[in-house]
Amino acid sequence: MLTKRQNLLETIKGGNPDRFVNQWEAFAMIAGDPISAQSPRAVQGQPPIVDAWGVTRSFPANVPGPFPVHDHEHKVIKDITKWKEQVTKTPNLDVPAEAWDNIKAQAAKIDRNEYFVSMLVAPGVFEQAHYLTGIDDCLLYLFEEPEAMHELIDFITEWKLGYAKLVCEHVKPEVIIHHDDWGSQLNSFMSPDMFAEFIVPAFKKIYGYYKSHGVQLIVHHSDSYGANLVPHMIEMGIDIWQGCMQANNTPELIKKYGGQISFMGDINNGVVDTPDWSREVIRREVERACRNCGKHYFIPNTTMGGPNSVYPEVYGVVSEEIDRISKILF
């Protein structure tokens, strides 16, 4: 029987997997680096927090996750042409080496024959831009003030490259799981041409740096429509698109791009991770996804950006159903 790590590699390389990769099972997550720790997480139902970029984040009750507060008072960037005056702080990258000891110790305990040492990085370049500006204004600025937006994105990219340097020096992860949502359930937030102009160069630099400094796999999370962006994902160096929703027609993407990129998802949280969730619905969706998408270049997974679910039992039941269908199809 292959290890979880070996089975994932066989799957994404079109080899001989002996079962479906079961969601996030191959990725041993480590967390708590001293840079990310400067931005405490918003807690559901608790007062908003202000992160190290100056962004106010709130996590109301009964919603899936936290999000920035974007009324005029709380926006960091109120006028993109004055962003240099308004972005007055970033997380401090100049921390003592010993501040990395905790996360290094986590990495040292992982069996690298069974798992990939994996780090989650969030928010992404586009997300950081709209965290600072508000998403509506951010998209408008791409049209109305492209020069200023290029400057802001370059600024964010350079900071992320500084962070990547520290991560690779101190932690040496094998997998980077990078969040950056690029669309709604219906379409991408920007056209492929605009995406190529503003977003692709940033990620080619960031992902290129990680891969040239020991990272084996880039897993990019975007739980949205993005089928029109897949050629650009390949250009960026993404190995696995995680969060690929059913609306993307995952089987067709696998036929067209399998071997260049793999797809992780096709089990929509909006269908299985609901207040009235049931094993019957989860079984139906897992079986549909696995039968339709096949054994290569596909990892069945809910589309949430980590090994969890809004309703805590759901993630485990999905995993049980993936094991069940593996025994049938393999």
What's the CA angle centered on 165, arms 164 and 169, to 5 degrees?
115
pLDDT at residue 41 greater than cutoff 90 = no
pLDDT digits (tens, 9 = 90+) for 136-169: 999 999 999 999 999 999 999 999 999 999 999 9
Verdict on whether the full-model pTM lies above 0.95? yes
Number of domains in the chain: 1
Instruction: Select from 257, 246, 237 the least CA-distant residue to 297.
Output: 257
pLDDT band at 304 (very low <50, low <70, confident <90, very high): very high
265: exposed, middle or buried (Cβ count in 10 Å: 0-12, 13-18, 19+): buried
Q: What is the CATH number of the domain that holds 297?
A: 3.20.20.210
pLDDT digits (tens, 9 = 90+) for 61-106: 877 788 999 999 999 999 999 999 999 999 999 999 999 999 999 9
For residue range 236-270, list pLDDT tens digits in order: 999 999 999 999 999 999 999 999 999 999 999 99
The per-residue pLDDT for 5 is 98
Cα Dmax for the chain: 60
Non-local (6+) Cβ contacts of 16 within 8 A are 10
Cis-peptide into 123, omega within 30 deg: yes
Q: Which amino acid, 160?
A: K
How, if at all, do strands 56-58 and 116-121 pair?
Answer: unpaired
Q: What is the mean pLDDT of residues 212-224?
A: 98
How many CB atoms are located within 10 Å of the residue 233 CB? 24
Q: Quick one: average pLDDT of 102-126?
A: 98
Q: What is the pLDDT, as a whole number, of residue 65?
A: 82
> Which residues form the domain of 22?
4-329
Burial 173-203, CB ≥16 within 10 A → b, else e: bbbbbbbbbbbeeeebbbeeeebebbbbbbb
How many C-beta atoms lie closer than 10 Å to residue 276's C-beta? 6
